[in-house]
Amino acid sequence: MREPTIVMTLMVRDEADIIAAMIEHHLAQGVDLIIATDNGSVDGTREILADYAETGRVEVHDYLKHDKNQTAVVSGMASRAATEHGATWVLNADADEFFVAKTPGFTLRDALRGIPTGIGSFHAPVVNMTGIPAREGAAIARLLWRDEREESTLMETVALHAHPSADAVHVGKAGVTVQQGNHGVDIPSLGAPDDEYAIEVLHYPWRTYAQYSTKIVNTGRSYDANPALNPSPRHHGMRDYRFWKAGVLEPLYLVRHPGEDPGAGFTKDERVLASLQGLLADGAALRPERLAPLVEGAWEGYSAQERAHADEVAALVIPLEIEHISASTAWRDMYRGEAAGRRRAEAERDAAVAERDRLARNPEARARRLGGRVLRGVKRRLGRLLGR
């Protein structure tokens, strides 16, 4: 069996607290090359990428405009994966996403080796990882719990409208288009992997408040700078950007972390931590000096009083956010209904104009149509007279 060439793309901005762990994980899992585009990072991320580029396993590019133009940038990298590197499979990832095989003992390469390329593309489900909150510091050893709560409960408890959308994995193809957020591609999916070779993504979005608040501000200002993009009123980044502007983002960050023993709705998953610890213990890490602080480092936590205060603030903020979303959705539905009505009216008008012009060009057709109208009118009057 021919070994697949696996290429990952990565668009990243200010993710120095996790990027080394993400790179080490995927290269150890069998990814051949990571094509990374730095989006003007100022926290040391660009320097970390350059450090890994020296290993020959990471290719670094730069895109300095902060306009949230993810589709164009990632699509360019994904196409390059095929044309320049002969990719069999392409995985488009964010810095806080760790792709893993669901089957115990399998690497990512083991899984992709068993998936036929004839299916074109498929989706890998994404699950949020949470646990103990911290102001700053190492995250991997704290966030060990999969959030598997009923989706219908999320908005009322932690101001999340849904669990994350699945990521698209696809075969290498020149000119491929990757949708904003990496959740879809223009390569049709002709099937799904067998359960034995299934892949999922462990997502670490809320590592520290310092990291998360920076990300939210970056996201919000990038969308502000690109009015051509129109995120949904439920878009998680823009929702939290509103929280940041209102001064309540930190309490909402806190309530998304259930703590060390969260109970029902959460399942412990230590695969990423164990894998990274193993790389350090075995001397297999490419840049152990970059990785060790992210796995073994300390963190600054929160007191019980601060967590209680966060619960109080969230209890006030979340109902207001639900009301805001409901109003936004109602307005959007009304606007869409009005727009659909205008489109129907315009289509009917255009059809009438086209028919008028056709009849004007063809007097015989016009006469036949007029005669048909007269005949139908006579039939209707006779029907009324005869009581039919």
* Cα four-point dihedral sign 242, 243, 247, 250: negative
What is the pLDDT at residue 342? 61
Residue 292 and residue 141 in contact, taking contact as beta carbons nearer than 8 Å: no
Give the integer Cα–Cα distance in Å for 140 and 355: 68
Give the integer Cα–Cα distance in Å for 58 and 51: 9
What is the pLDDT at residue 335? 44
What are the CA-CA distances from residue 15 to residues 36, 44, 79, 266, 287 (Å)?
A: 12, 8, 24, 26, 16
- 354: Cβ–Cβ under 8 A, 6 or more apart, which residues? none
Q: What letters, b where the CB count within 10 A reaches 16 and e where it falls short, cover 284-296?
A: ebbeeebbbebbe
Does the pLDDT value for residue 331 go beyond 50? no
Confidence class for position 292, pLDDT limits 50, 70, 90? very high
Q: To the nearest whole number, what is the mean pLDDT of the chain?
A: 89
pLDDT tens digits, 313-327: 999 999 988 887 777
Does the pLDDT value for residue 187 go beyond 90? yes
Does the pLDDT value for residue 275 go beyond 90? yes
Higher per-residue pLDDT: 31 or 152: 31
What is the pLDDT at residue 239? 81
Share of the chain above pLDDT 70, in %: 84
Give the integer Cα–Cα distance in Å for 39 and 19: 13
Give the integer Cα–Cα distance in Å for 345 and 60: 52
Share of the chain above pLDDT 90, in %: 70
Average pLDDT over residues 367-379: 61
Confidence class for position 231, pLDDT limits 50, 70, 90? low
Confidence class for position 375, pLDDT limits 50, 70, 90? low
DSSP state of 164: P
Higher per-residue pLDDT: 97 or 233: 97
The percent of the chain in helix, strand and coil, each rounded to the nearest 5, is: 50, 15, 35
Residue 4 and residue 86 in contact, taking contact as beta carbons nearer than 8 Å: no
Does the pLDDT value for residue 86 go beyond 60? yes
Q: How many residues are listed for the chain in this entry? A: 388
Confidence class for position 351, pLDDT limits 50, 70, 90? confident
Does the pLDDT value for residue 384 go beyond 80? no
Smallest CA-to-CA distance from 312 within 379, 240, 372, 255 is with: 255
Give the pair of three-digit tokens for residue 40: 């003007």
Smallest CA-to-CA distance from 163 within 173, 172, 152 is with: 152
Give the integer Cα–Cα distance in Å for 195 and 286: 32
Between CA 339 and CA 351, with CA 345 as vertex, the angle to 5 degrees is 135
Does the pLDDT value for residue 226 go beyond 80? no
Give the integer Cα–Cα distance in Å for 13 and 45: 7
- 72: Cβ–Cβ under 8 A, 6 or more apart, which residues? none
The amino acid at residue 105 is G
Residue 328 and residue 166 in contact, taking contact as beta carbons nearer than 8 Å: no
What is the pLDDT at residue 329? 57
DSSP state of 256: T
What is the pLDDT at residue 37? 98
Confidence class for position 237, pLDDT limits 50, 70, 90? confident
What is the pLDDT at residue 227? 72
pLDDT tens digits, 160-180: 888 999 999 999 999 999 998
Give the integer Cα–Cα distance in Å for 285 and 149: 34
Smallest CA-to-CA distance from 202 within 236, 235, 164, 237 is with: 164
Does the pLDDT value for residue 192 go beyond 90? yes
Q: For the chain, what are the domain ranges?
A: 6-302, 303-388
Give the integer Cα–Cα distance in Å for 325 and 335: 15
Give the integer Cα–Cα distance in Å for 205 and 168: 18
Confidence class for position 359, pLDDT limits 50, 70, 90? low
pTM score: 0.82
Higher per-residue pLDDT: 275 or 343: 275
Does the pLDDT value for residue 240 go beyond 60? yes
DSSP state of 307: H
Residue 241 and residue 219 in contact, taking contact as beta carbons nearer than 8 Å: yes
Higher per-residue pLDDT: 130 or 372: 130
Average pLDDT over residues 1-14: 93
Give the integer Cα–Cα distance in Å for 7 and 87: 6
* HSE-CB for 201 with a 13 A CA cutoff: 24
What is the pLDDT at residue 221? 86
pLDDT tens digits, 18-54: 999 999 999 999 999 999 999 999 999 999 999 999 9
